[in-house]
Amino acid sequence: MNIGVLTSGGDSSGMNAAIRAITRTALHYGFDVFGIKQGYNGLLNDTIIELNRGSVANIIQRGGTILGTARSDEFETEQGMAQAKKTIDKHNINAVIVIGGDGTMRGAKIFSEKFKVKMIGLPGTIDNDLYGTDYTIGFDTAINSALDAVDRIRDTAASLERLFFIEVMGRYAGFIALAVGLAGGAEEVLIPETPTNIDALANKINDNIRKGKKSNIIIVSEGDEAGNAFAIAEKIKKCINEPYRVAVLGYIQRGGAPTANDRILASKLGFATVEALMQNIHNCMVGEINKKIVFTPFEETYTKKKNIDSDIYKIIKILSE
């Protein structure tokens, strides 16, 4: 069996660990492995390289992806997919492993059905919003990177007795914000899944100041329905008479050496993916739920809603009083 592997969409720390696990597991069983560069674009442009043990040496600790990644509008077209199929046939690739988020899984589903290609996915996104796994590869690293920044900002906030709005990634999901908010001792967390009441938030901040709190940290998910951190801060400014600062953490949440948790998850899922293909399991995403490997049909990964843990939201509310 010849196996192709690609990383698509936004990068996430742990992708390299997954590539390493896939490659070495496949080689162990006597398969050939081909790296497809720059996501689905690699299938369109025939940028295919053969991977061996040396190719994936000393990458488990590296962030990003050695294969590169991209989003491909052309791949979504009938013509683009037809070209991708020609590339797969040219290299005699029997199955393609894709590592990425919801867009990656959506592309894999359509391509596999239209052109009868065996596809199987790994959840690689910092947002942790894919249905079919407790955690996605890169999520743990992202929240630890964000948490480090929040801790540093807290020092300044306390020294200056200042209100800070800190924006984290999460356009459609608040998993990063919730985790960082709980671990960072935030006074409030604003996420897309729950409505934001500006008046109530302003009252809480004023109450905290009256109680003698020397700093107030508000974590804002970038996709909150009330706006981004700057927009929300401006709305709050009209309700309270306190100076504030805004910090947007941005892409620092994506990079950096993966945490132990992300390396372990990526290694387990990469190994499980090759073994699944050996059992003729495909056209699904491999995830981990309650420490067990599970297989979720591609379509369910992005059409079914992965709910936030409402208990965490409640805990943050109580602990910030």
Q: Residue 180: which pLDDT band, with cuts at 50, 70 and 90?
A: very high
Q: State in Å, rounded, how far the first CA of the chain is from the last one.
A: 58
pLDDT given at position 320 = 84
Q: What is the pLDDT of residue 158?
A: 86
Please write the tens of the pLDDT for every residue from 30-45.
Answer: 999 999 999 999 999 9
Query: Which two structure tokens, joined as six digits, stand for 61?
Result: 């600790």
pTM for the whole structure:
0.93
- Annotated catalytic residue, options 11, 32, 89, 127: 127
pLDDT digits (tens, 9 = 90+) for 259-279: 999 999 999 999 999 999 999
Confidence bin at 159 (pLDDT 50/70/90)? confident
Q: Which amino acid is at 132?
A: G
Percentage, residues of the chain above pLDDT 90:
83
What are the residues whose beta carbons fall under 8 Å from the beta carbon of 120, sequence distance 6 or more?
Answer: 95, 96, 97, 98, 108, 273, 276, 277, 281, 282, 283, 284, 285, 286
Phi/psi-derived region of residue 243, left when phi > 0, alpha when psi is between -120 and 50, beta in every other case: beta
| Pair 126, 10: CB distance under 8 Å | yes
Query: Does the annotation mark 127 as catalytic?
Result: yes
Is the model's pLDDT at 88 over the cut of 80?
yes
pLDDT per residue over 185-230, tens digit each?
Answer: 999 999 999 999 999 999 999 988 888 887 899 999 999 999 999 9
Q: Which residues are annotated as a binding site?
A: 10, 20-24, 71-72, 101-104, 125-127, 154, 162, 169-171, 185-187, 211, 213-215, 222, 245, 251-254
Over the chain, what is the mean pLDDT? 94
Q: Which domains does the chain have, with CATH numbers?
A: 2-138+258-303 (3.40.50.450), 141-254 (3.40.50.460)
Binding residues for ATP, by number, are 10, 71-72, 101-104
What letters, b where the CB count within 10 A reaches 16 and e where it falls short, cover 288-310?
beeeebebbebbebbeeebebee
